[in-house]
Structure 1
Amino acid sequence: MPYELQELAAISGMPGLYRLVRAARHGVLVESLDEKATRTLAPARNKVSLLSEISIYTQDPEQTVPLTDIFERIYQQHGTTAPVTAKSSEGELTEFMAGIVPDYDRDRVYLSDIKKVANWFGIVSKHRPYQEAAAPEAPAADETAPAEVAPAPKAKRKSAKADAEPAANEPLSTGGVIGAPDDAPEAPGNPEATVPAKKSRKKAE
């Protein structure tokens, strides 16, 4: 999630955005998302809309685009500053939204909605750090580890001595490291060739 929106909300009758602090007896204690970070009580009669639960309609009646994804797309295309404001023309606003969500529903998404998206993005990007999602790289490395360690049982079958060396190196090994002990048993394999030689001498006697 590029911008953490879980605790951020828009409150009817109150300009700007707010961070939810805790529930109060007659409403919700909130903190303004600005330089002052002023705490105030939002009355229970005011509608609180969590940004994480807001979506944009698309031409597919069964599909919407979460505001979190909208903010990610704006950031990727325009950085931390949206190219439009509440004072932008209708053409600029619709062109901006079409660039972010090409298939947005032109009938159900109003100009006032686009203005809110641009305004909210400006507030959030100014007071919340952007977090890049780099988590998928770690699982990719973990998935390759089992495949590389898999050849280890073959070394165990060859000899008991070979088991001791790979076992100590398994956590740090790759296919090449495990392969090194596999080559070692082949050298001691030459003395095994002398065993049949002794048997052949007995037969000769």
Structure 2
Amino acid sequence: MELKEIAAVSGKGGLFKIVKPTRTGVILESLDEARTKLVASASQRVSVLSEISIYTTTQEGAEPLEAVLQKIFAEFGNDTGVSGSSDGDELRSFLRHVLPEFDEDRVYVSDIKKLVNWYGILVKYAPEVMKPNVEETKEAKKAPKKEAKAEIEASEVEAKPKAKKTTKKKSE
């Protein structure tokens, strides 16, 4: 399962797996033990997790949720040490530890509570989304090799002496 297959619905707690789209909305299934199904209509706000970012003060202006979740998993594993019921200062300090450049003016405590709750649900019911994408990892490993190969080829070209062109004079 990937983050692009998981959604949050405004007004509904928890996370939902996207089952399939319909003409008027989308069919969702909760990620908890109950596995309740829900048809979200166009009037409901459905947010796919792969499209969510957290505001930062960097030049990019935001960090994708997937990258933040992977940082949390790398740092804390299955237990973050905080919960959605923790106080605001504790939640802000948690996010500051994971993402020091988050924009404190635009990221509210309620957003951090959602992040912590979502993280708990994902670790329990969809832990595979916490691991880096295999295709991205393969591409990242291939990119330096291509550059190195290009550098080697360029140095070989420079090292080879240029052959002199000889022209034969026609004898008259």
TM-score range, shorter chain: 0.7 to 0.9
CA root-mean-square deviation: 2.6
* 1:135 aligned residue: 138
* 2:166 aligned residue: none
Deviation at 1:62, TM superposition (A): 4.1
Unaligned stretches of 5+ in structure 2?
153-172
Counterparts of 1:1-205 in structure 2 under 5 Å?
A: 4-60=2-58, 62-130=60-128, 131-132=131-132, 133=134, 134-135=137-138, 139=142
Deviations 1:97-138 (A, max 9, x none): 100110111110000000001011111111113334452586
Identity %: 41
Unaligned stretches of 5+ in structure 1?
148-205
Q: Secondary structure at the match of 2:18?
A: strand
Deviations 1:37-82 (A, max 9, x none): 2222112210011110111111236421000001011001100222
Shift in CA distance, 139/109, structure 1 to aligned 2, threshold 3 Å? same
Shift in CA distance, 80/142, structure 1 to aligned 2, threshold 3 Å? same
CA distance in structure 2 between the partners assigned to 1:136 and 1:62 by the alignment: 22
When the two structures are superposed, what TM-score results if normalisation uses the length of structure 1?
A: 0.63
When the two structures are superposed, what TM-score results if normalisation uses the length of structure 2?
A: 0.74
1:22 maps to amino acid: K
2:25 maps to amino acid: G
Shift in CA distance, 145/66, structure 1 to aligned 2, threshold 3 Å? closer
* 2:168 aligned residue: none
Query: Which of the two has higher C-alpha Rg?
Result: 1
Shift in CA distance, 42/140, structure 1 to aligned 2, threshold 3 Å? closer
2:119 maps to amino acid: F
Shift in CA distance, 137/8, structure 1 to aligned 2, threshold 3 Å? closer
Deviations 1:162-191 (A, max 9, x none): xxxxxxxxxxxxxxxxxxxxxxxxxxxxxx
Q: Secondary structure at the match of 1:96?
A: helix
Q: Which has the higher contact order (CA 8 A, sep 6+)?
A: 2
1:67 maps to amino acid: L
CA distance in structure 2 between the partners assigned to 1:94 and 1:33 by the alignment: 27
1:56 maps to amino acid: I
CA distance in structure 2 between the partners assigned to 1:142 and 1:110 by the alignment: 42
CA distance in structure 2 between the partners assigned to 1:120 and 1:69 by the alignment: 14
